[in-house]
Structure formats: C-alpha cells, structure tokens
Amino acid sequence: MPFVIALLAPVFWGTTYALVNLYLQDMSPYWVAVWRALPAGILLLMLRPRLPTLAWSKLSLLSFCNIGAFFALLFIGAYRLPGAVAGTLGATLPLIFIILAWVIDKKRPGMKWLLLGLMGLGGVMLLLNPSADLDPIGVLCMLGATTLVALSSRWMQRWDVGDYLVLTAWQLFLGGLMLIPLAWFMSGAPQLPAMHVVPSLIWLVIANTALAYWAWLWSMRHLGPDIMGMVALVNPVVAVLLGVLIVGETFDFRQWAGIGVILLSLVLMKLPPKFSIYPFKKNRP
C-alpha cells in the first residue's frame, strides 16, 4: 500500500505536460501556476481547517521553494519544451539527491546506489528525442525546479512537520499567494479561464495537485528521499506514454528502450531486503 500511494504523485504529475500541450497553451504559465496552487490549498484547508504545527518561518521557506518558485519554473519549462523532454528532466531527482547529500552532508554514496541512479538517468536520456530542439531557458528552469524539490524534501525529512494534509494545504495556499504578484507583473491582470480549459484546471487542482502533493509528502516521510527519487522516474514514463497516445508524439526504438530501463531500475529498487541497495556507505569508526 505505501508504494501504491507513492506512485500517485509521479503518475498524476506526468499528466501535466500533456495538459499544457493540448489545452493550456493560450494561458499564461504564471497564472496557470496560480490556478493550480491556490484553489488546491483552499480545498485542502476546507477539508482540514487547522493551523500548521511547523514554525511559520520554515513553512514560508517550504512554500516558496516547494510551491511558489517550483511551480513558476515548472510551467515555464513545460511551455518552452516538448512535453516528453520536460518530463524526463525531472527524473534527474535521484542524482540531485545524491549530489546534495554528498556536498552538504559529506555522505559518500555507495557505488551500487550511484550506479542505480545512473541507470535510471540513462533510461531518461534514451527517452529524449535526438531531433528535439531544446530551449536552454526551459532546460535550466526544469533542472532548477527539480533542485528545489530535492532541497525541500531534505528539509521535510529532518523537520517535525506534523499532519501531512495540513502541511500540504498551507504550502499550496501560501505558495499560491506568493505567485500572484509574479503572475500579475509578468502577464498582467488575471482573466477568467475559457470554458474549454476548465476541466483541465479542475484535474490540475484536485488530482494533479491536492491529492498528488499529499501522497508525495506522506511517501517522502515514510519511504525516504532516495526511494522517492527513484519512484519519481515514473513521471517521465507517464509523460511519454501520454505524448504518444494522446498528443501524437512518435518515438523510436531508443525511446522505448529508455522506458524499459527506467522500469527495470524501479524493479531493482524493490528487491527484498537481503538484496537491498543502500544509498550511502556506513560511517567507519
């Protein structure tokens, strides 16, 4: 059951890029970020109307990094890059976790875990269309967004965050409020969404954001950032499949091989305990 909950977040997040390509191209990415975060936060606060137990300073930092800045960078990348490319760049999360732990905590990664992360990243690279015209700003935005998720996840792993639903609600609410001045400055006053994009926005608010973020935070606490970093590789798989089945993107043998490599890395991650792959070497006396 915990692994099923963990899969909800990357599966739902993988639908973001298809929605942008099919229905949201005429909207400002900044206002799409607002419409995604703020209503989801209000909805969750209505379901769980409680004050957070986490200090407001820490909550504000999480809201900015994990929602405000992340959503802004995510949608800029999603609008400037092909959906499959944007989705795959988010799968660098396992390596970013390892790099941050190595640089900040001085924890040298075990060779098996490092190879497993490289294996998943190799599968992601196979998914990339060689003829894709990669926009450098879009690439930097996606990598920046992924780094913010890694940092936020590390903080939440170390802090006593209390109720996960309350934490998710307040992060989305505060992050959505932080996005409003940016969206107003970059795109002008908000306009009501056209009727044909309302179903997409409803999906973004309820499944893609409210439910997915709760599942991510719950799983991050119970499974840890290293395992969740590998589970996040499901995100580009969903993005690619939707691109093929719905958007009409085409892929060659290398892209399909990449899907197989990513799935294999997830299977290896779920080996029985006696075959488990430890993320870091044990400290020596």
- Show pLDDT as tens, one digit a residue, over the chain (285 residues): 778 888 898 899 899 988 988 889 889 999 999 999 999 999 999 988 999 999 999 999 999 999 999 999 999 998 888 777 787 777 777 777 777 887 887 777 777 777 877 887 787 777 665 655 568 898 889 989 989 988 888 888 788 888 888 988 999 999 999 999 999 999 999 878 888 889 999 999 999 999 998 888 788 778 876 677 677 778 888 888 888 788 877 767 777 787 788 778 766 765 654 444 445 444 433
pLDDT attached to residue 41? 95
pLDDT attached to residue 132? 52
Evaluated on CA atoms 82, 84, 88, 90, the torsion sign reads positive
- Cα 150 off chain centre by: 9
Q: Which two tokens stand for residue 62?
A: 């999480």
Query: Would you call 281 helix, strand, or coil by DSSP?
Result: coil
How far lies 7's CA from each of 4, 90, 150, 215, in Å? Answer: 5, 15, 17, 8
Q: Judge whether 98 and 149 are in contact, CB under 8 Å.
A: no
Distance CA 95, CA 89 (A): 11
Q: What are phi and psi of 198, to 5 degrees?
A: -60, -45
Distance CA 257, CA 278 (A): 26
Q: Judge whether 277 and 226 are in contact, CB under 8 Å.
A: no
pLDDT attached to residue 51? 93
Helical ranges in 128-163 per DSSP H? 136-158
Q: Judge whether 75 and 21 are in contact, CB under 8 Å.
A: no
**Whole-model pTM?**
0.81
